[in-house]
Amino acid sequence: MNQSVGKIHEVVKWPAPVLAKRGEEVTVFDAKLKKLVEEMFESMYAAQGIGLAAPQINISKRITVIDCSFKKNPDEKVILINPEIIERKGKQIEEEGCLSLPEIREKVSRAAWVKVRAQDVNGDSIEVEGEELLARAMQHEIDHLDGILFIDRLSRLKRDLIIRKIKKLQKNGEW
């Protein structure tokens, strides 16, 4: 892998319309896609995240990158293209944040273990299993590809409070 850093994409914030719609299936697996995936990792690291979905950088495609080790272990880098969760087990309730909702953190209930079927950058079919943090990250990022944010999984009251807070920040030019 070459060391030249690609373009760092800006992460879009809620309520950007791209975050609320289902991403398009990826059908072309070429050098452009590989470059985008590399740029997504760089953009994710630049934003201090462990997961990033293409809609978060204003690209409505079903692509997500995850690195729960945050650069410490290259083997932990996960690339999921056109992913779907095919199995889930158990339950975990942990605090989540999102690069598109900076500084907002809430406890979200997710499956404790998931199996995901997806494609890699070459278009080959892969299956990835994850538990704990990786399971949570995969569910969170796949939600993005379906136009769902973690605040959509909260109680209506909590969600309304967060939206009110964001609107206030927007009014003050802080969002």
pLDDT tens, residue by residue, 38-90: 999 999 999 999 999 999 999 999 999 999 999 999 999 999 999 999 999 99
Number of domains into which the chain is organized: 1
**Inside any domain, residue 95:** yes
Which pLDDT band, with edges at 50, 70 and 90, does 5 fall under? low
In a domain, 9, yes or no: no
For CA atoms 107, 110, 115, 117, the dihedral sign is: negative
pLDDT given for residue 12 in this prediction: 97
Nearest to 149 by CA among 96, 77, 93, 90: 96
The reply to whether 70 falls in a domain is yes
Structural domain for 82, as ranges? 17-171
Q: For residue range 102-124, list pLDDT tens digits in order.
A: 999 999 999 999 999 999 999 99
User: pLDDT, tens digit, for every residue of 147-166?
Assistant: 999 999 999 999 999 999 99
Give pLDDT tens digits for 10-32. 999 999 999 999 999 999 999 99
Binding-site residues for Fe cation, please?
Answer: 98, 140, 144
CB atoms within 10 A of CB 49: 21
pLDDT at 4: 52
Residue 11 lies in a domain: no
Q: Does residue 61 lie within any of the structural domains?
A: yes
Q: Is residue 4 part of a domain?
A: no
Side-by-side strand order, sheet with 63-67: 51-53, 63-67, 77-89, 113-119, 125-131
Determine contact, residues 5/51, Cβ cutoff 8 Å: no
**DSSP state for residue 50 in the 8-state scheme:** S
- Residues with a catalytic annotation lie at 141
pLDDT at 101 over 50: yes
35 found inside a domain:
yes
**How far are the Cα atoms of 5, 76, 145, 151, 154 from residue 139, in angstroms, in the given order?**
28, 16, 10, 13, 15
The CATH number linked to 104 is 3.90.45.10
Residue 37 within any structural domain of the chain = yes
What gap in Å lies between CA 16 and CA 31, rounded to an integer?
Answer: 28
